[in-house]
């Protein structure tokens, strides 16, 4: 909850109207899938949406009409994939790097969805274009929306499936520094700019990330 208070409380007045960002909060699960040669073959990504956004999706889709917090199997099937219809140029808000070298990820596949405790949770699989050998150089997986409309956190321990001698750790940014960089970026806009439409691409400054390293198999 403290992450949500820090990230959700961005309310700024920079020479114009007050701007509030972000608007949606997602708790993220990261599973890194390795083969027996300690090569990363893909990522299983889980998104748990905040209560308000979940409620709006369920209501807009006409699910759970009795408001008992439970979906029938048919309703769950309708929910599955609601967030997987990506535009062709949408990167999926998940970024993978080997050290500092960006890696290509596939479009989402093998997705699931569920609804419990007032929140929607979905998962999807993304594969690498080719297996990525891991060693001392870390595989870095970042979760962020460049435009910071959505705030991602990684509160769950990362999972490594397969491989041998591999460890994963989560790292969080310096939020005070990120906030200062956001303020500096906003200060460059003219007072008449619609910041809701032209919000600076500062999401990476707030990005939490998972780093995976392996010893020799």
The model's pLDDT over 4-62, given as tens digits with 9 standing for 90+, comes to 333 333 334 444 444 446 889 999 999 999 999 999 999 999 999 999 999 999 999 99
The residues spanned by each domain of the chain are: 2-214
Strand partners, 208: 143
pLDDT(181) > 90? no
Give 165's pLDDT tier (boundaries 50, 70, 90): very high
Alpha helices in 23-110 (DSSP H): 51-60, 73-79
Q: Please answer whether residues 38 and 166 qualify as being in contact, where contact means their C-beta atoms are separated by less than 8 angstroms.
A: yes
The model's pLDDT over 63-102, given as tens digits with 9 standing for 90+, comes to 999 989 999 999 999 999 999 999 998 999 999 999 899 9
pTM for the predicted model, two decimal places: 0.83
Q: Name the percent of the chain lying above pLDDT 70.
A: 76
Which tokens in the block code for residue 23? 């608007």
């Amino acid at each position: 909850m403290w992450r949500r208070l820090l990230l959700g409380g961005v309310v700024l007045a920079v020479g114009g109207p007050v701007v509030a960002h972000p608007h949606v909060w997602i708790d993220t699960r990261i599973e890194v899938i390795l083969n027996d040669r300690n090569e990363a073959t893909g990522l299983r990504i889980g998104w748990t949406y905040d209560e308000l956004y979940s409620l709006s999706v369920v209501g807009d889709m006409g699910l759970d009409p009795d408001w008992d917090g439970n979906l029938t199997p048919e309703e769950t099937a309708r929910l599955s994939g609601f967030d997987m219809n990506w535009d062709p140029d949408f990167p999926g808000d998940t970024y993978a790097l080997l050290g500092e070298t960006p890696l290509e990820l596939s479009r989402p596949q093998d997705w699931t969805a569920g609804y419990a405790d007032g929140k929607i949770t979905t998962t999807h699989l993304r594969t690498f274009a080719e297996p990525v050998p891991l060693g001392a150089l870390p595989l870095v997986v970042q979760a962020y929306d460049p435009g910071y409309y959505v705030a991602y956190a990684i509160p769950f321990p990362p999972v490594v499936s397969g491989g041998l001698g591999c460890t994963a750790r989560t790292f969080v940014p310096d939020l005070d520094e990120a906030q200062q960089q956001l303020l500096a970026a906003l200060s460059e806009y003219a007072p008449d700019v619609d910041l809701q439409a032209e919000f600076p691409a500062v999401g990476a400054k707030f990005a939490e990330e998972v780093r995976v390293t392996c010893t020799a198999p």
